[in-house]
Amino acid sequence: MKTTIQKQKILLLLIMTAWGLLIQLDVQSATVILTRPITLQDNVISLLNKGHEPEKEQWKLVVFGFVHCKDVCPISLANLALIVKAAAQEKINLDGIFVTIDPDRDTASILSQYTENFGPNVGYLRLEGEKLDSFKATFGVETIFYTKNEGNLNHYQVDHSTSAFLIDPEGRIRVMFDALKDANNIAHLFVDKRTLFSK
């Protein structure tokens, strides 16, 4: 008999697979509002709280990337900052968290300087090794490192999912979307689905 956590992981994997197919087909809007929110484990919530200390009724917006990313990540973070501002205009308490997938190059100092360019409500989370692998698996985020080897530890490229997640104050994933394409949809959600953010 599967535990509740195993069932939630299977459900998230199925949702991410279906969602990934929509993105590959370049569907205009791939925003998914989960009618059955996925509760994150306490250890995951604890790690997210390190990215930004939570306040009462604090929502979190989580994106993954790396500082050396030249095109995708700056757009994702600019969109994250746009969403955080849109939430503030609607009096929704939301902080953004940028999770690095490349901790070998992204030191805490580099991440701090990088994220502060996107506003005071954008923090970062740096994990390594198995802890990072487990964290990425929780969110169904995939990464592929190209040409990273002993002779090339600085100038390699990384491909990664552009998935982003809105997590409610109870630590449940409520909305999944594409960080590159769906920022305006999320900003509209704060108005059009106001009840979602007042629960």
The predicted model scores a pTM of 0.81
| More confident of the two residues 158 and 141 | 141
pLDDT digits (tens, 9 = 90+) for 17-60: 444 444 444 444 578 989 899 999 999 999 988 766 666 678 99
Question: pLDDT tier at 2 (50, 70, 90 boundaries)?
Answer: low
For residue 103, the domain's CATH number is: 3.40.30.10
In DSSP notation, 144-188 reads EEES-BTTBSSS-EEEE--EEEEE-TTSEEEEEEETTT-HHHHHH
The domain tally of the chain equals 1
Q: How far apart are CA 161 and CA 144, in angstroms?
A: 10
Largest CA distance in the chain: 53
| C-alpha to C-alpha distance for 160 and 145, rounded to whole angstroms | 9
**Cα 54 to Cα 60: distance, rounded to the nearest angstrom:** 9
Question: What are φ and ψ of residue 18, in 5° steps?
Answer: -65, -40
Residue 72 has what pLDDT?
Answer: 87
Q: Are 12 and 173 in contact (CB under 8 A)?
A: yes
The tokens describing 140, both together, are 């169904």
| Full domain range(s) for residue 20 | 4-198
Q: Are 71 and 116 in contact (CB under 8 A)?
A: no
pLDDT tens, residue by residue, 89-125:
999 999 999 999 999 899 999 999 999 999 999 999 9
